Structure 1
Amino acid sequence: MASNRCVVYLEPGKVEVETIEYPRLELAVQHRKCDHGVIVRTIATNICGSDQHMVRGRTTAPKGQTLGHEITGEVIEAGRDVEFIKVGDIVSVPFNIACGRCQMCKSGNTGVCLNVNPARPGAAYGYVDMGGWVGGQANYVMVPYADWNLLKFPDKDQAMEKIRDLTMLSDIFPTGYHGAFTAGVRTGSTVYVAGAGPVGLACAASSQLLGAAVVIVGDMNPERLAQARSFGCETIDLRNKADLPDMLTQIVGEPVVDAAIDCVGFEARGHGQGASEAPATVLNDVMSITRVAGRVGIPGLYVTGDPGGIDENAKTGQLSVKMGLGWAKSLTFTTGQTPVMRYHRQLMMAILHDKIQIAKAVNATIISLDDAPKGYVDFDKGAAKKFVINPNGLIK
């Protein structure tokens, strides 16, 4: 049996690659066989900003937490109840684990499946409080409910040619798209994206795909802002203490936009050089600049347990949000895990037919499994890259 190595969280700021058990067709949390599952040999698995929150010590993740929820791979073993996915298929694995049978799954809300996490609705691979599922920054991973969860790529050769783009389908491309779509981005929209990390860049590219007239990205990282400009976005450097509405006016002629998206989450900082952490900053910003009766997308992560929170309220996810402002402006908010399956097939087709170059937009950068710890360090320093781990050397 092949060995299985995986990226594991040890303590704040430290991850290592360790040998873990080779996956079995078994539901470890429920202690029963998983005849509806498959074993996937990982082709590409990505470092996500959500992983980085854990590695910074900003969640309740325990020592030994396996990492990785962005997985693309080849099926090498299938359970007896798997009918439509075959050994040899190359597939995208949605980061949401979903049963396909519960009320939420049947209504398309696969991010809050009721049957895959004993603690709460919703589950994910390799993430704290998300059901205890083993992470996918590894050589091999088990995927349950395979016929329901997996997105099969129609042509293996074409999939490998476009693997840098297709690997984004497991999370950040649908997540960015979900943020833009639920914020109401349509043909001719003016859009503000808070955050130029990989999800923010994916959201900006998605806004362009949806037909936005202008996409403005705000951040305090010059390298990431340059990456946003590389595919046609306007940018705002938030190290400048000027008011955000004034900076928007210089670009679109008015202090508001049609749609705004928070791609930062709970580790947000205030404006200005050297600004301190202020976790409600982005939420209040996007409310202030969204047109009345507009929509706000919030794919940025917010947690209920943050040991590193700036105060006792922040440690439990209680933030000083200007809800009265949102109410007065009749704004609509969409939060929570992105239901990847709602979008991934359409986005796959956009990739395969050259309607978008998402890997270029997020600056996909291939690294080995052994280089994953360094990738985490570089990402934490603000590298304008989306690190794609190549654990089995299958990406050319």
Structure 2
Amino acid sequence: MKMRKKAFMLGNKAVAYKGSGVVEVIDIEYPTFELKEGPGVNPANVGRKVPHGVILKTVTTNICGSDQHMVRGRTAAPTGLILGHEITGEVVETGPDVEFINVGDIVSVPFNIACGRCRNCKDGKTGICQNVNPDRPGSAYGYVDMGGWVGGQAQYVLVPYADWNVLKFPDRDQALNKILDLTMLSDIFPTGFHGALTAGTAVGSTVYVAGAGPVGLATAVSAQLLGAAVVIVGDLNDDRLAQARSFGCETINVGEGSVPDQLEQLLGVPEVDAAVDAVGFEARSHGHGAGAGESPATVLNSLMDVTGAGGAIGIPGLYVTGDPGAVDDAAKAGTLSLSFGTGWAKSLSFTTGQCPVMKYNRQLMMAILHDKVNIADAVNATAISLDDAPRGYAEFDAGAATKYVLSPNDYLEL
């Protein structure tokens, strides 16, 4: 118990949502093997015992675009919610039911919390576990309506069902040497890979990725890893498009002309084999520059236009059922004006929802450890301190072409 007493002495600092546009670093309790009442914790989960869990000393935890949706006030997230679902850490305590994970292990934590026991988990659908969120299938750390599991943008965090959930890195020194790459395994690299794969990307494919944020860039890297002949990334942000070009992508600024016309200039035809929506529900309309108004269905409709008949669209971009800041009442409930007839007429396939991270994270870990991919460079990973999190959120929200990686316990040189 010496480690736990030391942790109590050090305290536990974390990043909390304090209202629209505001995050603060606050002091919170050191985690225990029981869920306690707090902001966002589902009442049915209060008092839930977690003997199968581990407590991590956080090595890295990343700021995600999904966090930004909450911080912008675009969800029902309660004030005081502890943020963060992209977690890599060192095990400092294990619950009595943990068999195969040990103190000192460096592990990656999938953002989806999964029990490993339910029908969906056994089918590999870990993004929609039936036992961790009393309201609906699927859960995540530090996220609104996801059961209330405390977020990982903190010095210490509880991870349940550890034998099932965590991915142990085979060598501590190797892991810490490649930590800026390996930290992406908790979410955006598997999520981008899932988007590219479900879009049907294969050797020789032409692929269009809508969105040059970190998930879009991770999707583009993944499409290259899958053997795409050409990957084209579209966005309104020139800095993010330059980042996509830095690792061999073609790019189009969707504010400077129609997507089909720009694709035709690059490919000779106005369509692609595979397309991915890495934008989500805060999409802005095309053709009117950076000041374009919000139009949540615009990306999906555009992708149906430019995906070849019989193709597929991967949709890792987030869509929600409750958006208080939406442009109209329909969008506030997640109801969008889709040209579904276009998709039907072209026999397109769609894959939506949380990425089942565990389906991909080990394979992608091996690709990183054996130098087959440099995901940190592709997304411009930049390490900052936990205390610097408010700045990271503000700069990311302003469009910085950067993936901010928080270092709560000084494992990284800043």
Same fold, TM exceeding 0.5? Answer: yes
Residue 191 of structure 2: SS of its match in structure 1?
helix
Q: Which of 48, 54, 79 does residue 63 from structure 1 map onto? A: 79
Q: Which of 262, 285, 300 does residue 247 from structure 1 map onto? A: 262
What corresponds to 1:394 in structure 2? 411
Structure 2: stretches of 5+ with no match in the other structure: 1-7, 37-44
Residue 26 of structure 2 is aligned to residue 10 of structure 1: no
Shift of 1:27: 3.5
Residue 121 of structure 2: SS of its match in structure 1?
helix
Q: Deviations over 1:199-223 (max 9, x none)?
A: 0000000000000000000000000
**How do residues 300-311 of structure 1 correspond to structure 2 at under 5 angstroms?**
300-311=317-328
**How do residues 28-39 of structure 1 correspond to structure 2 at under 5 angstroms?**
28=36, 29-39=45-55
Residue 239 of structure 1: SS of its match in structure 2?
helix
- The alignment of Structure 1 onto Structure 2 pairs a total of residues equal to 395
Q: Deviations over 1:48-94 (max 9, x none)?
A: 00000000000010111110000000000001111111100000000
Residue 371 of structure 1: SS of its match in structure 2?
helix
Q: Determine the C-alpha separation between the residues in 1 that align with 2:233 and 2:48.
A: 47
Q: Determine the C-alpha separation between the residues in 2 that align with 1:126 and 1:204.
A: 27
Percent identical among aligned pairs is: 70
Query: Match for 1:350: what amino acid?
Result: A
Shift of 1:32: 3.4
Shift of 1:31: 1.1
Q: Which of 116, 120, 125 does residue 141 from structure 2 map onto? A: 125
Q: Deviations over 1:264-290 (max 9, x none)?
A: 000000112121000000000111100
Query: Match for 1:36: what amino acid?
Result: H
What corresponds to 1:25 in structure 2? 33
**How do residues 93-108 of structure 1 correspond to structure 2 at under 5 angstroms?**
93-108=109-124
Shift of 1:170: 0.1
What corresponds to 1:76 in structure 2? 92
What corresponds to 1:256 in structure 2? 271
**How do residues 48-197 of structure 1 correspond to structure 2 at under 5 angstroms?**
48-197=64-213
Shift of 1:395: 1.2
**How do residues 184-223 of structure 1 correspond to structure 2 at under 5 angstroms?**
184-223=200-239
Query: Match for 1:4: what amino acid?
Result: N
Give structure 1 regions of 4+ aligned residues with deviation exceeding 4 angstroms: none
Q: Determine the C-alpha separation between the residues in 2 that align with 1:162 and 1:244.
A: 37
Residue 128 of structure 1: SS of its match in structure 2?
coil
Residue 387 of structure 2: SS of its match in structure 1?
coil
Query: Match for 1:307: what amino acid?
Result: P
Q: Determine the C-alpha separation between the residues in 2 that align with 1:27 and 1:189.
A: 46
TM score, norm. by length of structure 2: 0.95
Query: Match for 1:26: what amino acid?
Result: E
Query: Match for 2:29: what amino acid?
Result: E
TM score, norm. by length of structure 1: 0.99
Q: Deviations over 1:327-354 (max 9, x none)?
A: 0000000000000000000000000000
Q: Determine the C-alpha separation between the residues in 1 that align with 2:401 and 2:409.
A: 25
Q: Determine the C-alpha separation between the residues in 2 that align with 1:289 and 1:34.
A: 48
What corresponds to 1:327 in structure 2? 344
RMSD: 0.7
Q: Determine the C-alpha separation between the residues in 2 that align with 1:163 and 1:60.
A: 33
Query: Match for 2:59: what amino acid?
Result: I
Query: Match for 1:249: what amino acid?
Result: E
